[in-house]
Amino acid sequence: MEETTVPEINVKQEFYRSTEKFHVVTCFVGIALNLVWFVSDIFVLPEYWLPFFIFRASVSAISLIALLTRKITGITIYTTMFILVLGIVVQNAYMWSVMDIEHFQQHAFAYMVLFIGVGMLVLWEVIFSVIILAATIISNVIFYLANSQLTVQEFVINGGLLILTVAIFCVFLIRTRYNLTYSEIRSRLELAKSKEIIEQKHEEVVHQKKEITDSINYARSIQESLIPIESHFNSHFKDSFVLFKPKDIVSGDFYWIYEKNNEIFYATADCTGHGVPGGFMTMLGLSFLDEIVEVKGVKTPSEILNLMRDKIISTLKQHGNFGESKDGMDITVCCLDKNKLELHFASANNSLYIIKNAGQPTQDLLICKADKQPCGFYHEKKPFTNNTIKLEEGDRVYTFSDGFPDQFGGPNGKKYMHKQLKEVLSQNAHLSFNDQKNILNTSFETWRGKQDQVDDVLLIGVLV
């Protein structure tokens, strides 16, 4: 059979030719936007407008010179793009180091947008991404030691860890996109020589698909490291279960728990979207809960949700303008006082159920209503309601996202609905929580049948 392999030099030349124009435009836009963002500096931190302006102007000027003279100096457009991104990374590290917590958190979003933008727009070899990641860490450490008044804990909780996570994820994203694009160009050139290249490249396509899945699996491992494992969650209660079924590899639902002085705080949350977009929101939610409850010591569930909402709106810069992000979450925050046998809770959109006297003739299911507003931007912002319920030993508390009752299936392809969920919970509340979990999972899968799962599923049961 005729040789169909295209020399690497030909593939590289075609790669550079086909992607250069896009990167030139991206570079010009990045230089311009870096200067345009100076306008926000004047309003956010007016006392630092001059050093911020000097930093921005220097980064943009150096990048523009490199861009305009690249044919004379012989540097590639990818090196030029690297200079721009490196400059903005160092610039952001300096800006971060002089900010208080409020502005620090807001700027974390700009930092995160930078890395996501680079991950989605830039195509370069992995060594550039590794250097950018190293420069991010080093420059933040240097400027933090030189300027920042924040503690290491405040630095990490309020955005440092989140930015590092996004940066690492983007390294894998760029690498995957680079390999995919490079392989696509190679295949296109070889296909021009012979149609038989389709069979020869099948293995490569499978391999590239695996790389994408591996990258998303890596994102899942990051998310799983932040969400408590079920055994850790269950260790706080006499008996409990967590039925957690992500729709995709990365989940938009999450749960969280913290105990202090015989008070157990736990949350059941459903973020906007699922998969990778929902996964980014879960990391924000977990970070905010840690800060509000563990660091600041806020104990009232309604106040926790009020602060969570403010942080989401501030971080995502939500002002109600047309076309902007309306991301947020439906979330229930509970505080179980083991000494007083009281449940304090506040909830955004998702109600919770309490079953009393399980398995007895007097068994009763209480529906505890939620506030009909999300934890995020909403046209009518009201304080969340703090609810207190007196409990008795043996009471069962159930919190959940809408993924379970919203699942389509059954003989007519309809939703499972809350009514059926309440029936299954009521009929099996007297059983051990492990048995309840298995029955609920079987009921869900039987109902779903061959239908695709429509959303992430999260259902938590707790024995008082």
d(CA 104, CA 108): 6
26 assigned to some structural domain: yes
349 assigned to some structural domain: yes
d(CA 143, CA 60): 20
On whether both 266 and 413 belong to a single domain, the answer is yes
Write down the pLDDT at residue 131: 92
391 assigned to some structural domain: yes
d(CA 107, CA 315): 8
On whether both 253 and 350 belong to a single domain, the answer is yes
The two counts, helices (H) then strands (E), for the chain are 16, 13
342 assigned to some structural domain: yes
On whether both 207 and 256 belong to a single domain, the answer is no
2 assigned to some structural domain: no
On whether both 321 and 397 belong to a single domain, the answer is yes
Write down the pLDDT at residue 198: 64
d(CA 33, CA 207): 37
On whether both 272 and 193 belong to a single domain, the answer is no
On whether both 181 and 97 belong to a single domain, the answer is yes
* Gyration radius of the chain's alpha carbons: 26
The domain boundary residue, chosen from 188, 221, 254: 221
Average confidence score pLDDT of the chain? 87
Cβ proximity of 173 and 3 under 8 Å: no
DSSP 227-276: SPPHHHHHTTSSSEEEEEE-SSSS-SEEEEEEEETTEEEEEEEEESSSHH
Query: Residues 318-327: pLDDT tens digits?
Result: 776 655 556 7
d(CA 463, CA 440): 16
d(CA 391, CA 85): 56
Token couple for 279: 């996964």
On whether both 180 and 253 belong to a single domain, the answer is no
The domain boundary residue, chosen from 203, 221, 239: 221
CA angle 12, 13, 18 (to 5 degrees): 100
Provide the β-strand partners of residue 264. 259, 336
Write down the pLDDT at residue 44: 74
Token couple for 275: 């998969």
The domain boundary residue, chosen from 205, 221, 237: 221
Question: What is the three-class DSSP state of 127?
Answer: helix
For the chain, give the percent of residues with pLDDT over 90.
47
Q: Domain total for the chain? A: 2
441 assigned to some structural domain: yes
pTM to 2 decimals? Answer: 0.57
Write down the pLDDT at residue 191: 75
Q: How confident is the model at residue 43 (pLDDT cuts 50, 70, 90)?
A: confident
On whether both 26 and 132 belong to a single domain, the answer is yes
Q: Is the pLDDT of residue 1 over 50?
A: no
On whether both 110 and 185 belong to a single domain, the answer is yes
258 assigned to some structural domain: yes
Segment 125-154 shows an average pLDDT of 88
**Residue in 158, 25, 150 with CA at minimum distance from that of residue 98:** 150
On whether both 143 and 264 belong to a single domain, the answer is no
Write down the pLDDT at residue 3: 60
Query: Residues 399-424: pLDDT tens digits?
Result: 999 999 999 999 999 999 999 999 99
Token couple for 138: 């080093």
On whether both 296 and 336 belong to a single domain, the answer is yes
1 assigned to some structural domain: no
Domain range for 204 is: 8-221
Write the DSSP symbol of residue 413.
T
Query: Residues 424-447: pLDDT tens digits?
Result: 999 999 999 999 999 999 999 999
